[in-house]
Amino acid sequence: MKDTILFGDCRETLKTVDTKVRMCVTSPPYYGLRDYGTSNWEGGDNDCDHVENVCPKCGAVRQDSQIGLEETPEEYIDQLIEVFKEVRNVLIDDGTCWVNIGDSYYNYRPGKGQGLPKQTVSNTKQDLPDVCSRRGNQLYGLKEKDLIGIPWMFAFAMRADGWYLRQDIIWHKPNPMPESVKDRCTKAHEYIFLFSKNKKYYYNNEAIKEEAVGERWGGNTPINMNNTKDIDNTFSGLTRPRKMVYEKRNKRSVWEVTTKPYKGAHFAVFPEELIEPCILAGSEEGDIVLDPFIGSGTTARVAKKHGRYYLGCELNKKYDSLQTERISQIQQRLC
């Protein structure tokens, strides 16, 4: 099963996968931030542009299969763990899983419901309303304005479920979304977590090495290859700068990648430069790269660009044409 996108709930479609994938890289829907247009509604007026979870216009009730609109952060994490159980089942034994995940704030106000955080990137019908009655319930242990800590809740839950939590990577955004807040810094980072299925796993550090810049401690002249003495055969100590000897170094855990606007229907698009290191380090040419929340097809584009196959899952069938267009663009460029 190669170069395929399976439409439907990934918790179910992944059960139908009859082949093994080398790695997974994905970005799940964030908690309580967006409606991706995959909700089903019971009752009410079919022509109504429903809002909230019990539509005040026509009385329709939202019936959701999409992840991200759960009542509590704990329920959200539980659903993600169910997804990644299925990911682990199709992952090869030495495979890795790279997950980009963002955080949310808790803005419960008694009697007013929970005002959802304004951390969206557009003003479309995919944005959730300012007040969502489904989230009006008070959550134990959270105070108004608390940062929930979704990424680390997820990381620890994955570890408890058997994954090896190998690293937290910081995605530094030089061009973050502006925020009008005056009591904290503007948020300019997200997390990428590296998980492995087993203790030993495939990881090609050479494929993502960086240019070596800066200096190191020890002395002002190049060191001998045994890393012990300067050219004049004197021991240098550890208090003076020393010029770098090597041209390349291991990639650091802070990745500076600018966000890229996209005019297509799917606005939550992570940059290709963000997942290229994941795919290059976690797979070889000819391997299958999995994305259970493939959205607009960014993972497929990067996989094809680097000689890999892709396998994706997507709940919203409306993204089919968008995915086809974006993937064909990269295939035509490679021809």
Q: For residue range 94-127, what is the model confidence (pLDDT) as tens digits?
A: 999 999 999 988 876 555 443 444 333 333 333 3
Q: What is the gyration radius of the CA atoms in the chain, in angstroms?
A: 23
Where a domain ends, among 198, 231, 249?
249
Do both 36 and 133 map to the same domain?
yes
Do both 26 and 171 map to the same domain?
yes
Residue with tokens 């419901």: 113
Average pLDDT over residues 84-92: 98
Lowest mean pLDDT among 101-115, 169-183, 231-245: 231-245
Could you tell me how far CA 298 lies from the centroid of its own chain?
Answer: 12
Do both 315 and 205 map to the same domain?
yes
Do both 83 and 145 map to the same domain?
yes
Range of the domain at 236: 210-249
Do both 166 and 306 map to the same domain?
yes
Residue with tokens 């093994």: 20
Report pLDDT for 184. Answer: 93
Do both 139 and 226 map to the same domain?
no
Average pLDDT over residues 139-160: 92
Lowest mean pLDDT among 99-108, 161-170, 199-208: 99-108
Do both 132 and 218 map to the same domain?
no
Report pLDDT for 71. Answer: 82
Do both 98 and 191 map to the same domain?
yes
Do both 313 and 254 map to the same domain?
yes
Do both 233 and 264 map to the same domain?
no
Average pLDDT over residues 170-193: 93
Query: CATH number, domain at 201?
Result: 3.40.50.150
Report pLDDT for 231. Answer: 47
Structural domain tally of the chain?
Answer: 2
Report pLDDT for 68. Answer: 86
- Pairing mode, strands 210-211 and 248-249: antiparallel
Do both 193 and 160 map to the same domain?
yes
d(CA 26, CA 92): 17
Do both 261 and 228 map to the same domain?
no
